[in-house]
Amino acid sequence: MAGLGAAKALRTSGKTFALLEAQSIPGGRISTVPMKAQAGVEREGARIDAGAQWLHGRQNDLHGIAVENDLLREELSEEGLGDYLRDDRYRIDDFLVQKVDFLVGQILEECEGFAKK
């Protein structure tokens, strides 16, 4: 969505530009995918959103849509918290999520240290 937002700003300012996408559909990480059956139970039309779990700022075009559809929540969250589901609806164990979150944190710290050198 950042690329589409930048394209909108460029268009508004009258600039000429080319919009390049890494995938065959626009939107970056945002995608809605069909959920696979679990334990033989198929849910007709069941879909799940993958990626882009946060909206930043009330100026975001999606904020109004989220308000209209009662999709905003007051809960505060931290990185690594929440339910993590595969596309087949299998819930990933909290311990594994915490372990991966810890390892990602370590990697980010190392990257920050490297960048400061």
In tens, the pLDDT along 9-65 reads 999 999 999 988 777 777 777 777 776 665 555 666 677 666 666 667 788 777 888
Residues 6+ apart with CB under 8 A from 28: 1, 2, 3, 21, 22, 51, 52
pTM: 0.41
What is the per-residue pLDDT across 72-96, written as a single tens digit (0 to 9) for each?
777 666 666 677 777 677 888 889 9
